[in-house]
Structure formats: structure tokens, C-alpha cells
Chains A and B, each alone.
Chain A
């Protein structure tokens, strides 16, 4: 027996409401995040992730309130990402009841931020979120994957696999690996991306982007994912958490 592969539903939250768009472009309202968190907990989710997609910084307090209300009634780990720019942002979310905070764009602008956060709060609560895609225009990167910003629309030229390794060096405790090519397609996880990142880091890797059917999950675990994350397939009831665990169990993967 060993540690179980985690199945993590992700709730994209805008101004206190859950949304999920196809490639982040068409947003659909899917409900109250606190209520959905409780439902996912009851269905056997191993963790929850909230991604704050709110555009205006004036709405940030709304997210703090959502986190606080969720942590009051859900007793499984909660990760919050989106708009985390400073150690004080991390502090605010942890105090509200988050267990982990994921950092994305702010770390691209200033990688040392990850080290500062890890030293202050501990590696175990700092997650590096990497939005990766295959390079389509611009110079090739060694791994063929690059880091993107703005929901995958803007390439940075930074090698995504090297960036994940750098994050680990700087002290993050986990990598949330989002395939922006696969995101919203429901055609399966990007297995090559998972394999390449797995080879260079020994912190846990959460695979995200592309889940559309039950048979997509076991290959992601075989490629090296310690956890699998999905959003829309869970929100709209296309797949249930328990079904994902059943298919993993049938593939001899330990689940809770």
C-alpha cells in the first residue's frame, strides 16, 4: 500500500461564481463554489482546487470569502490559485483556510518570488502552476513545450519542462501542469508533457487539461502524474469522481 493517486476537481471562480470555459474563451456559469465543494467532498474528491479567474482586483476579497466559507464546511485540502502575486496574497489565502496556493504569472515575471514564498510558508503549500503548450510560432524550446500566459494565448519562449525543474529548485512543493493544447478539447491528457516533466522533478505532479472520458485517466498516471485534475467534465456531470477512481482501481492504481 502507498499514497493514493489524487482525483481533484477544479472550480474556476469568477466574482464568487463557478465558471468553466472551453479554452477559457466561452465561460458558462455552473453554480455556487461553496455548495459545489461540499458535493465534491461527499463524492470522494481527494482535494479541491479553486482557480480565481476574476479580472478585476476589486473582486479579490470575494475569493477570500469563498475560501473562508468553503473551509468552514469542507475538511479536505483546498488549493487556491489565480491572481496570487505577493507573499501577502499567499498569507491572506492561507489565513482564510486554504492549504496550498498556486502561483503562475507572477513567478514568470520574477522567479525568486517562489523561493520567498516557500521560505516564509513552507514548500508544502506553494504550488507552481505551469500553463504549457507546444511551440507553434517562435523559436523552438529544448522540450518543444513553452510556458504561456493569458490562458494559453501568449507564448513566453520559456521552456516549460525547464521551468518546472526551476520551480522545484526554488522550493515549490508541487507542480500543477496544465496542457493548454489539450485544455477544453476533452481529447485526453498530454502524455508527452507529463512524461517530460516527471523525468526532471521529484515533487508531485498534477496533470491537468484534456480529460474527457474515463479511459483518459489511467494513461496520465502511467505517464507519471501523482494527481489528476479536471473541471468541466465533473461540473456538468459527464464524469463522476467515483467513476474515475473505479477506472484507476481497475488499472491497479491505488485510490482512496
Chain B
């Protein structure tokens, strides 16, 4: 790796860190209804939207149950709408290529996938979806699914601060509209123009026919790409306009667009942690959590970069230069783009899996085994910052368990932010924790013994298992990236992954909202000398340890069978 490569990585992370501080405080202002200087601009817009939704519905206080039901009902309506658009796109406008309607089972998978912020795709965008579907069925839920995750996390945090016993955790519709109009829409609009400037197309045409100077014809797919691309990353969504996602030069034309997309993925999940500190009135607690997440990111990131630069025996045997120099990238460039090289691809791969976006600027299936391990870890733990809101909740799951264990160790009633954590909360938290490994490990194991599971593999031996493990980890974490050699457009994978996405998304949210309801009903205890301090460096280390120990015990065996075994086989020069 060249100096510039490491410098690029450091700069990307530093800029995100610096931006997350003001953005986090802006988010807090929005959630806590504090005045901002943008209010004169947005208040009239929001009021008009509240009127359309119903003033009463957008104003009444909601307890945890009401909040959750309204969230679920809204998600259901949206999923049905986008399902219908995709299935009937041949009867809808803006379909110049005359693409047929999507096959129902695939549309089921796709609707679930996009409404849950997963963006797993068993289709190739440019050959399957009309421009209308790309806008009205894909770009649309990229906003609302991000918002859903975010507002649920906000309602959860409010449970620790409200004084009314939990009768009012906020209003779902109001939160949804405010986050959409005051954060996602304006940022997406401005940055979409930046992306167009860098080269991303934005047109309602679907194809151009070029006549290359050496003869022949080249059909080139285009469309409304830039507007799609910004919200896809800002909302940690991840689905591609084109089959190869952000590796496509139209989705991600330059190193600067690559920088922008990585920063967009990382911005809001990290700012949310800062926002958390503001909301509970204890910024130190926010920074402790930020530190836990940041430490994990810094721990796993270099593994991917070093492994990708080291390359593979197959490449060395073909006489390929592995070291990067000033005029060639070196390393494992299979599935990577020249303009990004090893540093830009490895960093993107780790960010997209830790912040659970799922967009890719290089093909993860072709990564070296150890280069892919950090990506697995990101999706398995889900809280190395994690996706919009949901990653934060996953971190809190581990946090509450850490509090509980620490409380038992010192023989005191466990407390977090002034609320006692007791049996009912711990049961809910444990359920939320256990669902994730269950829906990854069980169906991926089943796929390895069922003929309809095995026949879809794109690579043999351990790497084939990695493809399946990756698919279920990605779905359960609502990530959406893939080891794309797996042919996932089969009835088994469309259905199984669709259900894993659903179970990976909603039950943990519901359990955590139940925790919120139960915690909000409790009195806030005063801090005494005997209180276990959760905003200390010591507790941060304990929190980190809990995540690593629980995560490692759960997922390590699966990783050993997949990428780690493959790494040993590769070191011995084996191919399959």
C-alpha cells in the first residue's frame, strides 16, 4: 500500500468524524423540537404535509405500542405500493425499453428488501426495472426505510428521558416527515448535483447507442442515476441502479464520487450516536458509545486493506506485481476498478458492511478470504456503527446486556441512564439478540444440505459456503451486499432471504420498542455513589468486550468453516 492509500483512508475517516459532531447536534435539534435557523423554510412545508396526512394523526402523542403499530402499518402500505409498481411496470409510464413486469416472487423479495432498508437484489437493475420503477418503487423506499430506522431509534432514546411514564414517545408521522424534509431531501438534492458534476447521468432516457470508432455498436444503459445514488448512500440503503452497483462508472464515476459515497454512508449513523448524547443530556455517554464503535472499525479495517494488497497465490503465479507503486495499484484487482484501486475498494467494502449499507464499488465475492472477514464481522455484529437507527439499537442490545452482567458481578441492581434493567427488559433484549444469529446460521446451514441450495453456488468448496453465509448475514443485517456469484434468483433464495430480511428487521425493533415502553414506565433514579457509571472509559471497554465475546462465540464457528478455512487452503496454493 502506498502512503497516499493510507492517507486517503485516514482522511475519509477523519472528515466523517469531524462532520458527525455538528450533524449530530443538528439531528438532536430536529428530534427534540429545538429551533434551528432553517425553521422558517421548512415549517410551512411540514405543516402542509401534516395537513395532508391528517393534523390529528400527526400530532397525537404515541406510546410504544401506538408508535410501533403506526410504523408497521405504514411500512406495509409502502411495501404493497412498490410491489404493485414493479409487477405492473409494463403498464406504467417511463418504460422506453418495454421491460416486462417483474415476476411476483422476485417482486415479493424486492419489495421486502427495499422497505426494510436492506436492498438485497436478486435482479440486475438496468435489465429489469423501468426508469419509473427505479424512481417510484426504489428511490422512494430508500428515503422511508432509512427514516423508519432512524425514528424508531429516536423513540427508543426518548424512553430514557420522558417523565410521563411513556405515554408520549413522540409522534411517528411527525418524526418521519421532519427527518425526511429537514435532513434527507435537502442533502440528497444538493449532493445529487455534485454527483452529476462528477459524471453520474440524470435523464429519463434509458439507453444510448454508440458507434465506436473501430466499428460495431455499443448500447449504453443510462437513467436517473444521480438522484438514486445519493439517497442510496445517505440512507444506508445500498441497492444498485445497475447490476454491479457502485462499481459502475455511471454510479460512481471518479475517486471524488467514491469519497462522497463513503462519507454519506458513514455520516448519519455516526452522527446519530452524537445525537444520542445530546438527547439524554450526557454527551460523555454518547462519546463512550462512539468510542466502542470506532474502536471496532479501526480494529478490523486494516485487515481488509492489508489482505487485499497482499493478493493471492493465483495472481502471483501469473506473474502479477503485488506491491502498489506510483503507476499501478498492485494487489488483488480482480473485481476492482482502476480508479479506486485497493485502498478505495477495501475501505468502501468495510464501510458498506459496518454501516450496513450494502452498496459495493468492487466485487466482494472476489475479495481474498481475510479481506472479506471484516465484512462478515460488520454484518454479524451489526453495530460497528451499523445502519440507520438499527445499528444503534443493536449496540444498545449489547450495552444493556453489559450493564446486566456488570450489575450481577458487583451485586447491584443493574441501571442504565437512571433506569433499572430487570428481568422483563433482559428477556426482550435477549430475544432481540438471538434472532440475528438464528436467521443467519440456520438457513445457511440448511442451504448447504438442500439440493436447491447447493445448485445456486457460483464458486466451489469453502468459498461456496461463504457465498451462502454472506447472503444470509447480509439479509439478516439488512445490509444487501452480496457475494454475487450466488444465483439468488431462485424460489428458495427469493423466499428464504425475503423472510430472513423480515425477521431480521421487525421482531428486533418490536422487542426493543417493548423495552422502551417498559423502561419509560419506570421512575428515573438519582445517581448515587453506588451507581454503576456507564459513561466511563472502563464501562466502554466492558461494553466492547461484551460485543466481541458474545459476537465471537456466536459466529466464529461459521467463519472458520468459510473464509478462515479458505485462507488456509489458499496459503497452501489450493484451488477448487
The answer on A and B forming one complex is: no
Chain A residues in the interface with B (C-beta under 8 A): none
